[in-house]
Amino acid sequence: MTYPPTSDEQRLSGDENFETTGPERAADELAAAAETRTESDSLGSLQIPADSYWGIHTARALVNFPITRRAISNYPDLVRALARVKQAAARANRELGTLDPAKADAIEWACERVLAGEHHDQFVVGAIQGGAGTSTNMNCNEVLTNIALEHLGRPRGDYASLHPIDDVNRSQSTNDVYPTAIKLAMIFGLQRLLAEHRLLAQSFAAKGREFEHILKVGRTQLQDAVPMTLGQEFTGFAHTLVEDHERLGEVIPWLAEMNLGATAIGTGITADPRYSDAVRRHLVELTELPFQTAADLIEATSDAGVFMTLSGVLKRAAVKLSKICNDLRLISSGPQAGLGEINLPPRQAGSSIMPGKVNPVIPEVVNQVAFSVIGADATVTAAAEGGQLQLNAFEPVIAHSILQSLAWMTNACRTLRVNCIDGITANTDRLTRQVETNVGVVTALTPYIGYAAAAALAHTALTTQSSIADLVVDAQLMSRDEVQRVLSPERLSGIQPVTGVVDLAAIQHAQRAADERAWGAPRSESDLT
């Protein structure tokens, strides 16, 4: 489906992608199909392409909202969610006797076709639209109606036999269908994100185990600090993701609070008083999700708080994942003049001018996804605040922002795991050299040789690039075995606790050696205890 052109203002702006036509020309283009059918609404009549499953309400939306040129079919979760809600409504209306069983069966058959992935190309209205989602709801009503009509042996557009509003939309309003459907779509997207997020955390944890005995220099404020293992760093990444995984999962029960039965503003006008409970039961049965009807339907119809909650948690997860990617880019920098602690899998040539250059493209793309999620959260916040009185008219941009963030985050987690994390290797020799000559190692020796001797050794190591262990042994401050024990990866990284188990004999030996270097003789035994 090609969207109708927009406005003369866009032509005057120099945008060659837009034609100089308005709503009348757009309606004519819709009617220019080889075969058409006539549909009418309260505004008049239009010619609709005979082979389309959508109708006049969708046609008007195509004229009115050529904004993003991104149809709701780009969000298959939303299309499936709409079909599920309509299916639950048809079952509830049949149960209550407010809809003819034959019509209800036909509507349910149409819903199943959409749930199976058929006719998604007929969901053509733009994702961003005025009307609080009415165009999306009507697009769905019309498509389901015409699918059902065909199933009943009737032509498309024969609304005397089955009507998009009187039958498919029975007991419903856009104001309860649309928010429920986008919540369900968000649950679908969130479930996929959680699955990929879990796999990514497991990938980081596996690297943590693989690198558990590889020492490296820890850094604070980009300056050398004290030793740790590369495994600890990657295990930390895994734990960061686990925390966010828990927060993301906590949102699902909140999204499962619905307002079906509220109809227009929460009073339930036009719906059977029993409908709210009936449609909830059927939606739970169809989705196997713990949907609950909100205690206050007036509040639930106007409130967008849960969308801010989900968007905020998504932003948190994106920001923390982006920080991890910043670290990956930094510790893999080089390969010769940077930190070069790890090797990221080379994915593509990095430069059109510099031969052999390879860039950290996977962490970079995840960074950019995070930037987008952060921006989307600002959009959701503004849209939630912009609601007025009994309805928030800006749920379409909320839905677009969150569904896009969910999809992009899911894909980002997958490509980061498959194309980056699983293939990371450690530059063990480089890390070993950095630890051996790094003055941060001296910190571990201060309980044995004293602060003054440690400071002197640090200065010597910095000026000579010598191994700390060699300097300590050469100065006869400690034996080689003692130094190796104290500077073992397990002790340096804190895996083997040090507090309370410091070897007193080793301390006394080191202090005697330091005294002999300073004064030519050790101090008394009482000074060492």
> Catalytic positions, please?
351
Measured distance CA(511)–CA(513) in Å, rounded: 5
At 152, is the secondary structure helix, strand, or coil?
Answer: coil
CA angle 265/267/269 to nearest 5° reads: 95
Write down the residue that tokens 């019509």 correspond to.
103
Measured distance CA(6)–CA(4) in Å, rounded: 7
At 395, is the secondary structure helix, strand, or coil?
Answer: helix
Measured distance CA(529)–CA(513) in Å, rounded: 16
Residue 46's nearest CA partner among 63, 67, 21 is 63
Beta pairing, strands 257-258 & 292-293: parallel
Q: What letter would DSSP give residue 345?
A: P
Measured distance CA(143)–CA(141) in Å, rounded: 6
Structure tokens at 106: 């036909």
Q: Phi, psi at residue 49, to the nearest 5°?
A: -50, 130
Q: For the chain, state the CA radius of gyration.
A: 33
Measured distance CA(55)–CA(78) in Å, rounded: 19
139-142 CB contacts, 8 Å cutoff, 24+ apart: 139/54, 139/57, 139/58, 139/61, 139/72, 140/79, 140/82, 140/83, 140/86, 141/57, 141/86, 141/165, 141/168, 141/169, 142/53, 142/54, 142/55, 142/56, 142/57, 142/58
Alpha helical stretches, state H, 386-524: 395-419, 428-436, 446-449, 451-464, 468-474, 480-486, 489-492, 504-519
